[in-house]
Structure 1
C-alpha cells in the first residue's frame, strides 16, 4: 500500500525529478489551447440578447446557456485533474480538445434552446480540461522562481482569446448569426491538436487514486482556503462580468457596441499580465494581490453608480488588471500547496473558480431581468472587498507558516 501523503509538507512534483535546463515560458501549443478555451468561454456574453431573441427565450433563460457551461466546466475539474496526474497532461489535453471540437460543432448546429444548453454543457466539460491542464503543465515544467511569470504569459494568451471573443461576438452575432461564433472554437481546437502533436509529457509522480487524491487535497487547510477564495473570485469576476454587456444593451446599445466595451477587459488583462514579471521581482505576493483586488472593488463600484459605456469600459479595464494580478497570484499559490498532487490541486482550484462563476451568473439572472443593475453591481463590489481582505490576509499567513 502506498503510504499516506503529508498534508502540507513540500513534496517533489513531476518536474522536480527532471534534469537539465527547464523552460521559463509555456509552449506555443499550450498557449494556443488556452487561447481557444478562453475564446469559447467569453464569446457567449455579447450573444445572450441576440441568442434569446433568435430562439424566442427570455434573457434569464438564455443565461442558462452560460450558466450550465460554467457548471459543467467547473464540476468536471477534479476528474480532469486526477486523470492528468495518472495519465499525463498532454494526453488529457488532446482528449479534451478532440471532445471540444465535436461538441462545439453540435452547439453551432443546435436547433433550439434545450439542445443548445445540452451541447454547451458538453462543450464546457471538454474545454474545462484545457486551462487547468495548461496551468498544471507549467507547474510541472517551469521552475518556481519563473512560474508566476510563465503563468502570466499563459494568461496573456487567455486574455487575447477573451478580447477577440468579446469584440467579435456582438458584431458577428448581429450580422452573420450566433452560430458562427460557436463554430470558430472547434476549428481552433483542431489546430491546437496539430500544434501539440509530438509534445512529450513531463515525468509523473506515483499515481494516486481519484478518491484518495481528492480527499487528501481537501484535508489541507490551505487548499480549502484557496478554494473558497477562488469560488468567490469566480462569482464576482467571471460570473458578473458576463452581465456587463447585457447591462449596456438594457440601456439601448446594440450588441456590437456592448461587446466592444467589454472587450477592453481582455486588452487590459493582456497589458497588465506583462507587468506581472517586473512587479513580482519588486513586490511581495500579498501586495500584488492587494493591488489587483483594489481594481476589482473600484470597477464594480463605478458601474454601481451608473451604467454607461464609460463606466463599463472602466470596470472592464479594472477587472482585467484584477485578473492579471490577483488571479495569477491565486494560481501560483494553488500550484505550490500540494506539489505531489498538483494536477488535483489545480483541478479543484479551477472547479471552485467556475462553480463560483456559474453561481454568480445564475444568481444574477433575476436582477438582470428586472434591470436592477445598481443593486447588483453594488453588492458585487461589497463582496469583492471582503474577498480581497481575506485573500491578502490568508496569503500572508501561509507565507509565515512552517
Structure 2
C-alpha cells in the first residue's frame, strides 16, 4: 500500500478511535459514577446504552450528508457536537444529566464511524481497502488496551469527571486533524444531493441485498458480543475476580491484543486467499471458540486465566471478520457508499443494543452468564454468514 494511503488510514484510525475511547476509557469509572451520583448499577449502565443507541441512529444522518456535501464537513460538525457534550458530561450534577450528555457524545461521535469508511471507499476497493481498514484497526484496536488504563490512571489523581476532560482534549486534537491534515476525498462532481426519494431507493436496494444485509449482520452480531462484554466486564472482573480498576484495565486489554494482531493480517490474507474464504473460516473460529469457552465455564473451569485465554482466541478470529465484512459490504455500492456505510453502522449498533436488552434479564454480573451471552452473539454471526456467503452456505448444507 502506498505511503499516502497508509498515512490517511492512520489519521482515519485516530479519528475513528475517539468513539471507542469515549466508551472504554469510561469503563473503570462506572462503579464510582454509580456511587458518586447516587444511582444503581443499572442506572450507570444507562449511560452506555444512551450512547450506543444515539450513536447508531445518528449514522443515518452523517452518511447521506457526506454523500451530499463531502466527507470533511460532517466530521467537523460531529466532532464539535461531541466536544460540547463531553464538557457537559464533565459538569453533570446527576445521572439524568450524564445520560443526556452521553447521548450527545454518541450523536457527535457517530460521524467518526460512518464517514471514515466512506473515505476508504473513495480511495480504494478490494484487498487494498481491506489493508486500509486494517491500518485503521491498528489504532482502534489499541484503544481498548490504552483507554481503560488511561481511565484508571486518570482516576488515580482525579475522578470520573477528569476522564471527560481528557476526552475533550482528544476531541480538540481530532478537530485539528480534520481541519488541517485530512483532505477532502469526494470530488464535487461525485456528490449526490440529499433527496428523500433517492435515499429511500438506496435504502431499499441495500435492505433487499442479501449479501449486504448478511455481511452487515455478521458485523452487527460481532459488535454485539463486544457490547455484551462491555456492559458486564467491569463488574465481573472487579467483583467475581477481585481486580482493581487498573487490574481490570489490564485484563480488558488482553482481549484487544488478539483482535489487534489478527486484524493486521486481514488485508494480506484476503489478497492471497480471497475475502470470502477468510471471513468464512474466521467466523467459524469465532463461534467455535466462544462455544468452547462456554462449555468449559459451565463445567466449572471458570478461572480468570482460562476466561481470558478463551476470549483472546475468539477475539483474534473476530479481528479478521470485522474489517473484511466492512469492506465486502461496501464494495458493490460505490455510488451510495456513504448511505451504505451509515445504514450498515446503524444496523450494527442497533443490533448490539438489542442484544444487550435481550441478554440483560439473564445477566447477573458473573462469568457464567457473560460468556454464554457472547457465545450466543457469535453463533448468530455465524448464522448470518451461513445465509449470506455461498462458501459457508454450501458447507452448512
Pick the TM interval, shorter chain. Answer: 0.7 to 0.9
Q: Give the 3-state SS of the residue equivalent to 1:337 in structure 2.
A: coil
The 5 Å alignment of 1:248-259 reads 248-251=237-240, 252-259=242-249
Partner of 1:245: 234
Partner of 1:206: 192
Partner of 1:326: 321
2-structure distance, mates of 1:63, 1:88: 35
The 1:214/1:122 distance shift into structure 2, 3 A limit, reads farther
1-structure distance, mates of 2:290, 2:42: 24
The 1:390/1:246 distance shift into structure 2, 3 A limit, reads same
Identify the match of residue 105 of structure 1 among 71, 84, 87: 87
Identify the match of residue 288 of structure 1 among 273, 278, 288: 278
Partner of 2:309: 314
1-structure distance, mates of 2:174, 2:91: 22
1:260 aligns with 2:241: no
The 5 Å alignment of 1:108-123 reads 108-123=90-105
Q: CA deviation at 1:350?
A: 0.8
CA deviations 1:86-141 (Å, max 9, x no partner) are: 11111111111111111111112211111000000010010011022111101111
1:380 aligns with 2:362: no
Partner of 1:338: 333
2-structure distance, mates of 1:178, 1:311: 31
Which is worse superposed, 223-232 or 131-140?
223-232
The 1:338/1:195 distance shift into structure 2, 3 A limit, reads same
Answer whether contact 1:82 1:210 (CA < 8 A) is retained.
Answer: no
- Runs in 1 of length 4+ with deviation above 4 angstroms? 397-400
Which is worse superposed, 101-110 or 292-301?
292-301
Q: Give the 3-state SS of the residue equivalent to 1:76 in structure 2.
A: helix
1-structure distance, mates of 2:156, 2:250: 13
1-structure distance, mates of 2:259, 2:250: 15
Q: Give the superposed CA RMSD.
A: 2.7
The 1:277/1:335 distance shift into structure 2, 3 A limit, reads same
Answer whether contact 1:171 1:256 (CA < 8 A) is retained.
Answer: yes
Normalising by structure 1, report the TM-score. 0.85
Answer whether contact 2:286 2:378 (CA < 8 A) is retained.
Answer: no
CA deviations 1:293-314 (Å, max 9, x no partner) are: 2135414642660544313432
Structure 1: gaps spanning 5 or more residues:
1-20
Partner of 1:395: 389
Partner of 1:224: 213
1:36 aligns with 2:31: no
Q: Which has the higher helix share?
A: 2
2-structure distance, mates of 1:346, 1:214: 15
The 5 Å alignment of 1:52-201 reads 52-173=34-155, 176-198=158-180, 199-201=183-185
CA deviations 1:342-386 (Å, max 9, x no partner) are: 000010111112112222334444444x34541342243144124
Which is worse superposed, 306-315 or 109-118?
306-315
The 1:398/1:148 distance shift into structure 2, 3 A limit, reads farther
**How many residues get paired?**
379
Which is worse superposed, 51-60 or 379-388?
379-388
Partner of 1:7: none
Answer whether contact 1:153 1:274 (CA < 8 A) is retained.
Answer: yes
Structure 2: gaps spanning 5 or more residues:
none
Partner of 2:6: 25
Answer whether contact 2:287 2:375 (CA < 8 A) is retained.
Answer: yes
Normalising by structure 2, report the TM-score. 0.86
1-structure distance, mates of 2:273, 2:360: 39
